[in-house]
Amino acid sequence: MSLEIRISQVQDRLRQACAAAGRETTDVELLPVSKRQPESLIREAMAWGFKRFGENYVQEAASKAPALPEADFVLIGPLQSNKAKLALQTFVEIQSVDRLDLAQRLDRIAQELGVVRPAWVQVDLWGEATKLGGCAGPQLPELVGFLSKSNHLPLQGFMAIPPPGNMAAFQELAGLRADWRQRLGRDLRLSMGMSGDLEAAVAAGSDQIRVGTAIFGSRKEPGKAGLR
């Protein structure tokens, strides 16, 4: 199946999900996830109007970025502290800030570099952090409080990867966002929903869905022939 057809199918699903939820399609960003995809496919997606792409690995995105200067890469994967500087140099936005010490390190280095990088708090309400990263509920106040006052890592909202099949998780996240909107007295966005569950995410109020396989097809895993 061609990239054009896959993009069209995902956009149709998004339109239908928004219509069912009484929302405008323009209110929900479709973020293609391009991890382990070749530069040629990313260029093809850019020809269809996409500029921003989600990437999971700092070094992979850093290797792609010089060849794709028109693309804006967004970090959606776990970030190790020792890769903080490279992440700030590579990504226009960081969605996987999940602990206070990482936020403090990113903030300090961003000041040194003289850059501003919008930041999202990756949350974990389901005990999945050991596998996927995420800040547990008890640690959220410190982390959200720090980012809400940062000039170099302005807080955008919350990102999450709920357990597969847990549709109730989206409502939990919507409730979390509503609570923090009230606490901070400002708008916060939600990034949740992927290829298999975007409809439930849109219905719960997600502002961004992150779609990889449904757009680009299967990924080339490390160690398999053809991996770039």
Query: Tens of pLDDT along the chain (228 residues)?
Result: 899 999 999 999 999 999 999 999 999 999 999 999 999 999 999 999 999 999 999 999 999 999 999 999 999 999 999 999 999 999 999 999 999 999 999 999 999 999 999 999 999 999 875 567 899 999 999 999 999 999 999 999 999 998 888 889 999 999 999 999 999 999 999 999 999 999 999 999 999 999 999 999 887 665 443 332
What residue spans define the domains of the chain?
3-216
User: CB–CB of 193/202 below 8 Å?
Assistant: yes
- CA dist list (Å): 170 to 12, 99, 123: 21, 22, 12
| Residue 165 pLDDT | 84
Q: SS3 helix, strand, coil % of the chain, rounded to 5? A: 50, 15, 35
User: CB–CB of 222/206 below 8 Å?
Assistant: no
| Residue 93 pLDDT | 98
C-alpha span between 228 and 218 (Å, rounded): 14
Residue 134, φ and ψ in degrees, nearest 5: 135, 150
Pick the CATH number of 3-216 from 3.40.50.1110, 3.20.20.10, 3.40.640.10, 3.30.450.40: 3.20.20.10
Q: Which two tokens stand for residue 95?
A: 């969605």
Burial class (CB in 10 A: 0-12, 13-18, 19+), 67: exposed
| Residue 129 pLDDT | 58
pTM of the full predicted structure?
0.93
| Residue 103 pLDDT | 98
Burial readout 5-32 (b: 16 or more C-beta within 10 A, e: otherwise): ebbeebeebbeebbeebebeeeebebbb
| Residue 223 pLDDT | 47
